[in-house]
Chain A
Amino acid sequence: MIEANNLNKSFGKLKALNNVSITTGAGQSIALIGPNGCGKTTFIKSILGMVVPDSGTIKIKNQNIKANWAYRSLIGYMPQIGRYPDNMKIGQVIDMLTDIRQNTIAIDEDLINAFSLKKLYNKRMGTLSGGTMQKVSASIAFLFKPEILILDEPTAGLDPISSEALKEKIQAEKQNGKLFLITSHILSELDELSTHIVYMQDGTIMLYKTMEELKSTTGENRLSRAIAHLMAKTAQ
């Protein structure tokens, strides 16, 4: 569903994306891993059209996303650090987005209920803690039943119960054939959530394999071990 071709992006001297190409399909759950500053967020933001690549194309469902905007209704995005207008209330943000989307499909309130956000609807975004903000971001990402879900460090800052609820939701939606793109530094969590692994370093994709392939080639049965194995090999 997402097809990226030779993406390049530089921020001044820093090359954030260097000839990134990848093809993904429905039902996959892709774990995007790599050291800090390797271009994960830039890649995600280019898919969303928030960052405009210097060259290369991205196609979503065979539509080029350049100068296109309608495709974003297919995507639910949970940012690494949610940024919302400080003086809007949680309820207002959700109402506004529903209002803008004009979705004909009923909205998905599973996460709102799981996090019991309705009790907090009158709180202003500026007063929320980091974890609550993450809960709002997660609920918004799933709200419109998108086909593609992009989650940037979804469980960072969530308490264990909420993080479990979110993981359950991801598992459930995975069964529904949604495409997931998840970045995280917690490898044990990706182990259970993902079917494919993409490893990025210095703006290039070093590896793109299914979980089984990775585990069998490295001879390790835990993702963290397999990745450590791999990093040690690239370091040599």
Chain B
Amino acid sequence: MKKIVKYILLDILRNKIILAYTAILFVVTFSVFSLEDNSQKGMLTLLNLVLFIVPLVSIIFSTIYIYNSSEFIELLVSQPLRRKSIWLSLFIGISGALSLAFIIGAGVPLLIYNHSVTAFMMVANGILISVIFAAIAMVAAVSTRDKAKGIGWAILLWLYFSLVFDGLILFLLFQFSDYPLEKIMIFVSALNPIDLGRILILLKMDVSALMGYTGAVFKEFYGTQLGLIISFSVMLLWVIIPLLYSLRIFNRKDL
């Protein structure tokens, strides 16, 4: 398994798109901090960029990479290897490369300008988001043989998590504004890893007051040690569940 991961990692790290992605993250992070004299403000700008670009690049790149590796997968499947270890190696290779790109591109400059707990949280968050969307991409890519369809699904999933979901939440909040929804919102926010990430960072930055009463309830829950542990576990579930689901399909798939 280690050997397959090695070959996949070497292959991805030579990929120009990953190099460009790292460079863009690097330039963006540096410029955000040099534009703002207050690093807190810079963090906020960066947060929005990270929560927008990272899921997009992770899910699209991973989906396309898995489709392009179909030959490689076929070659490996005819060898004495477990299907499980082929699939998991692919996942580890892709998510490892994406995380590495994020750490070098955004993590390093971020920690140079700001080494608060929030900055560390942001790096951890970015890595988790990269890994989560790589896992979701595995589901999109294994579900259909048609490359265009698979990539289409990946884009739709990204749209759902970064735009549609928030729209739905707003809609629900307005529709049921007469009811106390704050507690339910805590649960609903766990249904979207991007939102979960955003809340965690915003609470650490003490701008939760901007979120009104909901912000206060969030702070009460996510601000505690237990809330933090729970929310990180939920994010890990966002990695494990799609990954295991895609593995189940892959194990029974005809190649």
Contacts and interface: CB of A to CB of B under 8 A. Distances in A.
A100 B4 contact: yes
Given A84-B71, A85-B11, A96-B7, A50 B255 contact: yes
Contacts of B252: 52
Interface stretch (B80-88, B109-117, B149-157, B211-219): B80-88
A83 interface: yes
Interface in B56-83: 68-72, 74-83
The 4 closest A-B pairs by CB, nearest first: A83-B71, A73-B80, A72-B80, A85-B72
Given A85-B11, A100-B3, A50 B254 contact: yes
A121 interface: no
A72 B76 CA distance: 11
B80 A69 contact: yes
Contacts, number: 61
A101 B80 contact: yes
A77 B78 CA distance: 7
Contact of B83 (A69, A70, A100): A69
A83 B75 contact: yes
B125 to A, nearest CB: 33
A51 B11 contact: no
Contacts of B253: 52
Interface in A72-128: 72-73, 75, 77, 79, 83-88, 93, 96-97, 99-101
B75 A50 contact: no
A27 interface: no
Given A69-B83, A73-B80, A100-B81, A83 B255 contact: no
Interface in B7-53: 7, 11, 14
B77 A50 contact: yes
A93 B79 CA distance: 13
Interface residues of A, number: 27
Contacts of B255: 45, 50-51
A26 interface: no
A49 interface: yes
A2 interface: no
A26 to B, nearest CB: 19
Contacts of B75: 83-85, 93, 97
A87 B74 contact: no
Given A83-B71, A84-B71, A85-B71, A49 B77 contact: yes
B120 to A, nearest CB: 36
29 contacts: A11-B254, A45-B254, A45-B255, A48-B77, A48-B78, A50-B77, A50-B254, A51-B254, A51-B255, A52-B252, A52-B254, A69-B81, A69-B82, A69-B83, A70-B80, A71-B80, A72-B81, A77-B78, A83-B70, A84-B71, A84-B72, A85-B11, A85-B69, A86-B68, A93-B75, A100-B76, A100-B81, A101-B79, A101-B80
